[in-house]
Structure 1
């Protein structure tokens, strides 16, 4: 262990001194105090330097020859870095080599750093300097690993110096053998920050210092290589651009002498603009952009953007319009031939054609949006024919059809287009649809408008407001085109599964036409007239090779599917016909007749069986009705009571509205317990209300009466009739509030085998939209009070079942 020594401290803030470095220090008051204190202790060994002489040391002026003199022990000081937030823990012991005045006249001293020293406690000493006790530290043993690290660092430093053409310094680094001395040469490295140099100073272990230096120097070398590559690429690009510019100028001069024009130049665009049948405002904008193109050089990147914009604008069908077929009878025949049912939609299209024909007869302006009303929104579950109906409308009108899929669109620029300043800018989907259709009055189907999202890139639904507003879309402005585009003669038809997901402002601009689903008879008719012929054609089957009976179709619609549309029916038919094709291919049979008995072999067992009676056989279970994005569905409500802390538990992944309905239902039952014959002790136990199929999110104000019925059934021990279902919201006073989706709910009840359905009294007008065959099969009972439902829905208590 090295004995401690006492030295005056010289703090430096502008430079970090490592062992082996020679530095020049200007003698301000603190520095002068430290130097004087060192000379008092060890004697004035440092020679003086005449004024104006220059020092040969690094960073100092060279002293005059013969100015130094020999003496005894050299004066020493401790050089330590200055920190703003703490005291230095390490420094270097430096000897005072020279003191005097250097070129410039200011007093200075030349110090040579020796080894590291750990700074201890402060001590007293002569002079005005700060004295501390320091302990010299050793860098550790030099083994093979240290030598390998030193060699790696040497190679990195030499390579970096050679890249910067510092050959002499590289030779000096090569001649250093001591790993510790090699590591401490980093004090001269300009690419290392003062913080890193202080870290090296405070790292006495030579092995650790070399590891840090290898890591840092590799980063510097990598950055230097990237910078050199970028500089080389820039120089090469500039040389190439200059060479191309010179060649293009020569080529232009040669063409001019030969009298040849540029086939891809502005003359071609000017002739296209002159020949184009476009509005005057559009022609002015085209010529304005063409003038900018002619004034710009080929090296200007804006020239490419202008060419792309001109191509896009000229490709739009500004003056192309198709003639509408105003024969209302023929159009209705086309719609009836393509789709079964859907009378409301067909009537709406027929009315549209009748209005246009009437305006044309009387010489009035025939404009799509401004002359015919709002945009039609076809809303309904999947598989009911919304998209195919748009194609039929276009065929009935004699217009061109184009589909714009909006599902998952989250960028507003997809609707309005990108600004031309962006690289890769494109017009919006509306403009692209017009270009694809090739006319200014196509039928544009905006598919899945309810699945448009919004994020930091904007709100596409808000951008659709201008597109779908008949009062605005005659001057629709796309961000890319920046031209007024008349969309008023475009027939927009939007489709959606869930109307509740559409923003209110957007929904207000569309005329809602609901397609709630098909009855069992409708599905059989659609399958017989449309699906079976299509699937026979896809399976390459003739009508006399495979047949399927109406009973089999009815069995598929009733017990194999529970959907509002016919998509699953078509899949099952395709599966049956594929298996029939395989049987014909084997040669075992020459004809396949598909009846009810053959369905199990062809498409498997029925997936759905009536279970309402089984589910409601015990008290506390009631059958409700709900509307989802897939159409109407049966919703069971199960309740139970158990010993425990009084309270209500509601499960089944419910929204806030349904949770609130459950609390209202329980409050109503508790307030009418005496009338219902429920003992007060029943509410002192834990009540649990559960909606099965918990993985399906459920919310909405239509399950209140169902929960009241289930709770009363549980607490009185009286089961709910198995042939009924109900829908409606209940208030604290027992009133039944109206709900939506009556038609879809009644269709779901009919599919589930329910005989009677309770609906709110205020929903009686909605029954006019329900097919007559559904009303014939179901007994629909409008009710105004929840007590009316309880009086008819609950049966006598089962023997042995006591009230809670």
Structure 2
């Protein structure tokens, strides 16, 4: 076909394909093109889309059907589009319009394959139109036989974007156009089916909810007229209660509360309280229990892998498993049987692994683990729960722990049981009596639940730092396992097997990059820490690894590197320095942080008024011990060659450090030794430590904390220790390496200590000015 010289009109947001009749609003450029077409081009002009990145290469030749104004007075024209035309070069023409050479695309005879594609596309178009119920358009499309004309009907398709329509305009080949249209239409139909399915589901769901809401409101109105109003959700609670596996007594209580809920009005505040109570009851695992692992060898292997030492604790857990397995094998294990639980008290200083041991026990048994922090708890309701008469009432911590565990036989760790307080709100320690009594806790009654809860299968593990603050009645319900601290060898082994790998991981280091020698670990344990546990040890390792990570790797941490990494040694043996003068004796004590050494200093003051003064923040018990010690020395001064004139001088007894409160019944023999050392002018041997209470007759009375005290003596560098005779059985609990490092003298009278603990007579005598 020959080319035509036509004015061109570019449209920004509209793509026209052949065979379309469309109105357009005329702006200045469009008006110029229309005027040029009417005057010089036989009412024909070229319509082309305006592209952002390039000029369009194809357009359609359109004929002006009508020119006028639309409602509102704006000029407009109605165009009928004809064949495609390839846009050639620009040419000059009359008027202000842009003129171009337009070469119409000739029509071709379609092949059989093209007609098959046209039929396929026609069926797809009919499917789309049927969804829109456009029956008249379906008839028009069905009447089109020419494949090219059928493809160009896509200009009316609203689901095709302008970019796709531009692609159709610039594709003169009919087969290619039909293949594109078939693919796009199929994609649209697939998306439409998904959208319709989702819309149908949403519509049905909304209709169902609306219908249920309407029926529920009608039912509520009917019940209200009958005086049987029922709040929403009651039927649901009844169904949940019937479906739940509840004990019979609990089921009856829950059904009674559901009946109250039925009678309660919508505006009754009691309804929300009842719902909260029912939710709590239904969420508790009344009959859910996990199966214990009864493989004793595997259990001991797990405990050994998690903790070094602590043989007594591990043996107790293995014994518990063995007894439980035997009961099960003989059919003696009954659900909720009395006394089937166990209550263990792990007592010891911080950092010895009490809390982590509870987690290991749970893992060994295959039970859930829950930690209940009791430190600072002063309200009895925290244990027993609030009564439901209070706004915001909640169950106690024990019930919440069972709910959190999801089973009725978890391992519950009662952490810091020695730090429970009491005030006007009650005594939480007294509330724990029922919880921790294996003979009573199968019928534990929380104030909020007000139904019996079986705690007999719960394995309670309590932790404490000191035993003196635990009420005797509560202490009597627990089986004490003392974790008194670690020896130097234990600390080195724990650091090697547990602390070093953990801190290397936290410092983003691998074992191949940093190596810590055994000598370095031993020096840290001996000269940098004096704790019973290993927390400070672990912090020092973390500090060392942080600094090593900034150095060239791989690296080895040896004793010579410790000063640069963690500073100078904090602890050196000082017993020799402290006891370098008469009147100073080394005692052994137990604090909340474990065992410790205690130096007692005595001094004679000028004057002859007599009397005793004590300093160092001493408690009443230690003050009485000082008075007893002085009385015994006065009564037996002649036995040791002490002149009465010396005892006429005032005596000052001091226990450093003055800023630390001290009390306890085990410093009597140390005070006697310090006084005799002062009056005789003989130093107490530097390697000697002692502990024990003294009576007015000179008997050495038994004390507690022998293991912790001997561990402290070893850490302080002492080699000899004096213990009361009645404490000899306690030596069985002391590690063998500690007993080997110390010479333990068993004494029953304070004279036995004085005969060997003092150095030989000095050439100088004590003089008082």
TM-score relative to the length of structure 2: 0.70
- Check conservation: 1:678, 1:803, Cα contact below 8 A: no
The Cα offsets for residues 359-388 of structure 1, whole Å up to 9 and x where unpaired, read as 011111256884456511000000000000
| Residues 1:285 and 2:285 aligned together | no
Give unpaired runs (5+ residues) of structure 1. 1-248, 584-588
Post-superposition offset of 1:580: 1.4
Match of 2:579 in 1: 616
Partner Cα separation in structure 1 for residue 565 and residue 727 of structure 2:
43
Match of 1:671 in 2: 635
Match of 1:749 in 2: 713
RMSD across aligned C-alpha pairs, in angstroms?
1.9
Partner Cα separation in structure 2 for residue 674 and residue 319 of structure 1:
75
Partner Cα separation in structure 1 for residue 742 and residue 336 of structure 2:
42
| Residues 1:579 and 2:547 aligned together | yes
Q: Secondary structure at the match of 1:624?
A: strand
Equivalent of residue 658 in structure 1, options 612, 622, 627: 622
Partner Cα separation in structure 1 for residue 698 and residue 630 of structure 2:
11
Match of 1:402 in 2: 370
Q: Secondary structure at the match of 1:598?
A: helix
What pairs up with 1:148-159 in 2 under 5 angstroms? none
| Residues 1:295 and 2:263 aligned together | yes
| Residues 1:526 and 2:494 aligned together | yes
- Check conservation: 1:715, 1:803, Cα contact below 8 A: no
| Residues 1:546 and 2:546 aligned together | no
Equivalent of residue 646 in structure 1, options 592, 610, 614: 610
| Residues 1:782 and 2:750 aligned together | no
Match of 1:316 in 2: 284
Partner Cα separation in structure 1 for residue 725 and residue 581 of structure 2:
28
Post-superposition offset of 1:715: 0.6
- Check conservation: 2:338, 2:440, Cα contact below 8 A: no
**Distance verdict in 2 for CA 1:369–1:634, change over 3 Å:** farther
Match of 2:361 in 1: 393
Match of 1:760 in 2: 724
More deviation, 360-369/513-522: 360-369
Match of 1:495 in 2: 463
Q: Count residues with an aligned counterpart.
A: 550
**Distance verdict in 2 for CA 1:518–1:368, change over 3 Å:** farther
Equivalent of residue 683 in structure 2, options 705, 715, 719: 719
Post-superposition offset of 1:694: 1.5
- Check conservation: 2:747, 2:753, Cα contact below 8 A: yes
What pairs up with 1:410-559 in 2 under 5 angstroms? 410-559=378-527
The Cα offsets for residues 234-267 of structure 1, whole Å up to 9 and x where unpaired, read as xxxxxxxxxxxxxxx99964566999x9995211
**Distance verdict in 2 for CA 1:269–1:622, change over 3 Å:** same
The Cα offsets for residues 670-724 of structure 1, whole Å up to 9 and x where unpaired, read as 1111111111011111100000012211111100000000000001100100010
Give unpaired runs (5+ residues) of structure 2. 1-212, 224-228
| Residues 1:732 and 2:732 aligned together | no
Partner Cα separation in structure 2 for residue 545 and residue 740 of structure 1:
46
Q: Secondary structure at the match of 1:524?
A: helix
Partner Cα separation in structure 1 for residue 732 and residue 531 of structure 2:
23
Partner Cα separation in structure 1 for residue 638 and residue 268 of structure 2:
88
Partner Cα separation in structure 2 for residue 253 and residue 722 of structure 1:
91
Match of 1:355 in 2: 323
Partner Cα separation in structure 2 for residue 493 and residue 264 of structure 1:
43
Match of 1:186 in 2: none
Partner Cα separation in structure 2 for residue 647 and residue 489 of structure 1:
60
Partner Cα separation in structure 1 for residue 605 and residue 405 of structure 2:
66
Partner Cα separation in structure 2 for residue 408 and residue 763 of structure 1:
34
**Distance verdict in 2 for CA 1:609–1:721, change over 3 Å:** same
The Cα offsets for residues 471-498 of structure 1, whole Å up to 9 and x where unpaired, read as 1100000000001000000000101000
**Distance verdict in 2 for CA 1:258–1:549, change over 3 Å:** farther
Equivalent of residue 646 in structure 2, options 682, 685, 690: 682
Partner Cα separation in structure 1 for residue 261 and residue 722 of structure 2:
72
Partner Cα separation in structure 1 for residue 494 and residue 413 of structure 2:
23
Match of 1:91 in 2: none
What pairs up with 1:93-108 in 2 under 5 angstroms? none
- Check conservation: 1:369, 1:490, Cα contact below 8 A: no
**Distance verdict in 2 for CA 1:673–1:256, change over 3 Å:** closer
**Distance verdict in 2 for CA 1:348–1:495, change over 3 Å:** same
Partner Cα separation in structure 2 for residue 761 and residue 430 of structure 1:
44
**Distance verdict in 2 for CA 1:373–1:791, change over 3 Å:** farther
- Check conservation: 2:220, 2:230, Cα contact below 8 A: no
- Check conservation: 1:365, 1:371, Cα contact below 8 A: no
Match of 1:345 in 2: 313
Match of 2:661 in 1: 697
Partner Cα separation in structure 1 for residue 765 and residue 509 of structure 2:
60
Partner Cα separation in structure 2 for residue 781 and residue 803 of structure 1:
33
**Distance verdict in 2 for CA 1:750–1:427, change over 3 Å:** same
**Distance verdict in 2 for CA 1:692–1:671, change over 3 Å:** same
Q: Secondary structure at the match of 2:439?
A: coil
The Cα offsets for residues 508-549 of structure 1, whole Å up to 9 and x where unpaired, read as 000011011000000000000011111111111100111111
Equivalent of residue 556 in structure 2, options 585, 590, 593: 593
Post-superposition offset of 1:604: 0.7
- Check conservation: 1:562, 1:608, Cα contact below 8 A: yes
The Cα offsets for residues 188-236 of structure 1, whole Å up to 9 and x where unpaired, read as xxxxxxxxxxxxxxxxxxxxxxxxxxxxxxxxxxxxxxxxxxxxxxxxx
| Residues 1:706 and 2:674 aligned together | no
Equivalent of residue 568 in structure 2, options 598, 605, 616: 605
**Distance verdict in 2 for CA 1:322–1:394, change over 3 Å:** same
Post-superposition offset of 1:315: 0.4
Partner Cα separation in structure 1 for residue 341 and residue 401 of structure 2:
22
- Check conservation: 2:584, 2:599, Cα contact below 8 A: yes
Partner Cα separation in structure 2 for residue 343 and residue 728 of structure 1:
28
Post-superposition offset of 1:582: 2.6
Post-superposition offset of 1:420: 0.6
Q: Secondary structure at the match of 1:318?
A: coil
- Check conservation: 2:619, 2:663, Cα contact below 8 A: yes
Partner Cα separation in structure 2 for residue 345 and residue 564 of structure 1:
17
Post-superposition offset of 1:767: 0.6
Match of 2:529 in 1: 561
Equivalent of residue 301 in structure 2, options 333, 336, 345: 333
**Distance verdict in 2 for CA 1:250–1:365, change over 3 Å:** closer
Partner Cα separation in structure 1 for residue 366 and residue 230 of structure 2:
43
**Distance verdict in 2 for CA 1:426–1:529, change over 3 Å:** same
Partner Cα separation in structure 2 for residue 582 and residue 441 of structure 1:
48
Partner Cα separation in structure 2 for residue 330 and residue 252 of structure 1:
58
Partner Cα separation in structure 2 for residue 395 and residue 582 of structure 1:
38
**Bigger Rg, structure 1 or 2:** 2
- Check conservation: 2:230, 2:263, Cα contact below 8 A: no
Match of 1:148 in 2: none
